[in-house]
Amino acid sequence: MSHEFFRCLLRTILILFFFLMLPAGISAQNVSKDIRIADGKGDWGYPNPYQHYPRGPGYLRMAMVFDTLVWKDAKGDIPALARSWRYDTESLSFIFELETQVLWHDGKPFTADDVVFTIDYFKKHPYQWVPLDKVAGAKALGPHTVSIHLNEPYAPFMAYIGGTMPILPRHIWEKVDDPKKYLAPDAFIGCGPFKFVDFDKTKGTYLYEANAAYYLGKPAVDRLIYIKAKNPLMTLLSKKADLVNIKPDMADHLKKKGMTVLESPRGWNKKLMINHKKPPLNDKRFRKALAYAINQQEIIDKAHRGFGSPASFGLLSPDHPFYNPETPGYSYDPEKARNILTSLGYKKNPTGFYEMNGNPLKVELLVSNISIAGESMADRDGEVLKNQFENVGISVDLVNLEQATADAKVRNWEFDLAVTGHGGLMGDAMILERMISPKLAGSVNSARYGANRELLDLLDAQMTEMDVQKRKAIVYKIQTLYADELPAISLYYPVSMTAYNPEKGITWYYTKGGIALGIPIAQNKMSLIK
């Protein structure tokens, strides 16, 4: 027999041995593999704290690169950069024992100094996802021990700081005076499971490669790729993507095709933003007329084929552990809406719409394709709302805008009414502070409402109450007052679904309480860690 025969025989034996050694369920084609995630928007900004778009998908792209002290898996909080932590009531300090073998992507060691620096830097250059007004400062107690000191007790600390704050490498950012303009390659050096390689803003594509030296273990995939897809569903079925968000009515079809389908808890709401700074919207009675004019179920039925559930007027999801089941509601009652308008002095004109002193009652309603879990969803919410308001005698000018433009108008108070939406409704109850208080002046989704002193006092009180049951009682009262004031109106919780291809050997899930501060997206980076 020839040497060539022996070479072929040896090669065949090696290949057979390779297949025999593979774990069950893993094929040769995905031993070295990519994971591709597709959505319809694509561009969520550059993946660092100062460049990502301020919605959940932008944060998640950043979090693949930058790690936090604490993270979550399917069951709740788990160690990340911190191995352990404790709260010292006497000194009002959280003490973290840090991992000792963590390296930044450039090979430099991670230490307590990086945590101290991050606190100082974010206090000087605020990162809107991490409020630090209650933090007095931080101190390194050793190379891998850090103490973060508070000005006062701060109940959401672990959720909004420990579990959300990306840690920055001091040796890079201490040289940066304007982080919002800094886009040098080292602006993307973190210590997370993936290294940032490229972002094509025009195409909406992201490329990451696995961090082989990741302290929690090498990622299970070699590359992570985000792609923009006009039709994410077909991208999944053609196996050009491995995970996409889907419309609920496609779930059964995809299951038959072998895909795994996940349904999110009610952690995201579509809501009506109200410019309560201008008349007549600054009158609580008028806002209640709007609430009675809204048929939440009709919006769900006509705009979303019945997939969804009416939202609580207290903002928190019924799936939240602090949800108040006694929160006041506004059952659809157009006659009651008309009676309120009449009591405010409005009279019907010959066209059937209300007016006062010859001035027609007319509002502008802004709508856009809001991104739900990273997917821009075209819907008929605005059209249905317009018909409902006009049914009670309020004339509506419906204006369709691109999402960023609509967000800017809401942020700058250049609107009457606007349909928007956000998640976070399963995370820490601090979401009430963020979505109600006027402190977040530039927020897109917050009502920024300061007209009720009792409500503001309760929002402050729940932030400092460290006893869980006492805090829950305060949060119950907040929901009651918020539902009475109605500075914004939650409309419904959409049915949000994710589908993925299980052939790649990755198990995705919706994180308990949402990722970080409550992001209801099934893209937890722990799914990609071995």
Between CA 484 and CA 198 the distance in angstroms is: 48
> Is position 79 within any domain?
yes
Between CA 37 and CA 244 the distance in angstroms is: 6
Residue 235 has pLDDT above 70, yes or no: yes
| Pair 64, 525: CB distance under 8 Å | yes
- 360 and 435 in a single domain? The answer is yes
Residue 26 has pLDDT above 50, yes or no: no
- 31 and 85 in a single domain? The answer is no
> Is position 7 within any domain?
no
Over the stretch 186-195, which tens digit does the pLDDT of each residue have? Answer: 999 999 999 9
Phi, psi of 505 (to 5 degrees): 80, 10
Amino acid symbol at 417: L
Between CA 267 and CA 280 the distance in angstroms is: 31
CATH of the domain at 467: 3.10.105.10
Q: Which residue, of 180, 209, 228, is where some domain finishes?
A: 180
> Is position 81 within any domain?
yes
Over the stretch 54-80, which tens digit does the pLDDT of each residue have? Answer: 889 999 999 999 999 999 998 889 999
Helix (H, G, I), strand (E, B) or coil at 264: coil
- 243 and 205 in a single domain? The answer is yes
Residue ranges of the alpha helices (H) in 222-262? 232-237, 251-256
User: Residue 468: which of 508, 428, 418, 502 has the closest Cα?
Assistant: 428
- 306 and 217 in a single domain? The answer is no
Using a 10 angstrom Cβ sphere, with 0-12 exposed, 13-18 middle and 19 or more buried, the burial of residue 353 is middle
- 383 and 488 in a single domain? The answer is yes
Between CA 457 and CA 132 the distance in angstroms is: 19
- 438 and 314 in a single domain? The answer is yes
Q: What was the pLDDT predicted at 377?
A: 60
Over the stretch 142-174, which tens digit does the pLDDT of each residue have? Answer: 999 999 999 999 999 999 999 999 999 999 999
> Is position 199 within any domain?
yes
Q: What is the pLDDT confidence band of residue 378, given thresholds at 50, 70 and 90?
A: low
DSSP conformation letters of 401-430? --HHHHHHHHHTT--SEEEEEE--TTS-TH
Q: What was the pLDDT predicted at 158?
A: 95
- 320 and 290 in a single domain? The answer is yes
- 357 and 477 in a single domain? The answer is yes
> Is position 283 within any domain?
yes
Between CA 192 and CA 183 the distance in angstroms is: 18
Over the stretch 201-210, which tens digit does the pLDDT of each residue have? Answer: 999 999 999 9
Q: Print burial letters for 3-31: b (CB count within 10 Å at least 16), e (below 16).
A: eeeeeeeeeeeeeeeeeeeeeeeeeeebe
Quick one: DSSP state of residue 26?
-
- Using the structure block, give the residue that is written with the tokens 């201490």: 174
Q: Which residue, of 148, 180, 212, is where some domain finishes?
A: 180
User: Residue 218: which of 364, 352, 103 has the closest Cα?
Assistant: 103
Question: Regarding beta strands 135-142 and 145-150, do their DSSP bridges make them parallel or antiparallel, or are they unpaired?
Answer: antiparallel
Question: Region 486-494: what's the mean pLDDT?
Answer: 96
What's the predicted TM-score (pTM) here? 0.79
Over the stretch 508-517, which tens digit does the pLDDT of each residue have? Answer: 999 988 999 8
Q: Which residues contact 355 (CB under 8 A, 6 or more apart)?
A: 346, 347, 348, 349, 361
CATH of the domain at 217: 3.40.190.10
Question: Regarding beta strands 260-263 and 269-274, do their DSSP bridges make them parallel or antiparallel, or are they unpaired?
Answer: unpaired
| Pair 525, 273: CB distance under 8 Å | no
Helix (H, G, I), strand (E, B) or coil at 355: strand
End-to-end CA distance of the chain: 45
Structural domain boundaries, residue 278: 269-494
Over the stretch 445-488, which tens digit does the pLDDT of each residue have? Answer: 999 999 999 999 999 999 999 999 999 999 999 999 999 999 99
> Is position 211 within any domain?
yes
CATH of the domain at 79: 3.90.76.10
Phi, psi of 475 (to 5 degrees): -65, -35
- 255 and 215 in a single domain? The answer is yes
Q: Which residue, of 134, 155, 180, is where some domain finishes?
A: 180
- 223 and 172 in a single domain? The answer is no
- 395 and 438 in a single domain? The answer is yes
Helix (H, G, I), strand (E, B) or coil at 250: helix
Question: Regarding beta strands 269-274 and 488-494, do their DSSP bridges make them parallel or antiparallel, or are they unpaired?
Answer: antiparallel
Q: Count CB-CB contacts under 10 A for residue 376.
A: 15
- Using the structure block, give the residue that is written with the tokens 């602006």: 187
C-alpha distances out from residue 459 to 151, 326, 517, Å: 17, 19, 17
Quick one: DSSP state of residue 160?
I
Return the bridge partners of 200, or none.
Answer: 205
| Pair 377, 362: CB distance under 8 Å | no
- 333 and 470 in a single domain? The answer is yes
Q: Print burial letters for 395-434: b (CB count within 10 Å at least 16), e (below 16).
A: bbebbebebeebbebbbeeebbbbbbbbbbbbbbbbbbbb
Helix (H, G, I), strand (E, B) or coil at 162: helix
| Pair 36, 508: CB distance under 8 Å | no
Residue 303 has pLDDT above 70, yes or no: yes
> Is position 4 within any domain?
no
Q: What is the pLDDT confidence band of residue 441, given thresholds at 50, 70 and 90?
A: confident
Q: What was the pLDDT predicted at 5?
A: 42
Residue 301 has pLDDT above 60, yes or no: yes
Between CA 7 and CA 13 the distance in angstroms is: 10
Q: What was the pLDDT predicted at 76?
A: 87
Quick one: DSSP state of residue 223?
E
> Is position 397 within any domain?
yes
Between CA 496 and CA 511 the distance in angstroms is: 14
* Angle between helices 284-293 and 468-485 in degrees, nearest 10: 90
Q: Which residues contact 387 (CB under 8 A, 6 or more apart)?
A: none
Number of domain units in the chain: 3
Q: What was the pLDDT predicted at 128?
A: 87
CA 400-401-405 angle, to 5 degrees, is 155
Residue ranges of the alpha helices (H) in 452-527? 453-464, 468-485
Q: What was the pLDDT predicted at 375?
A: 54
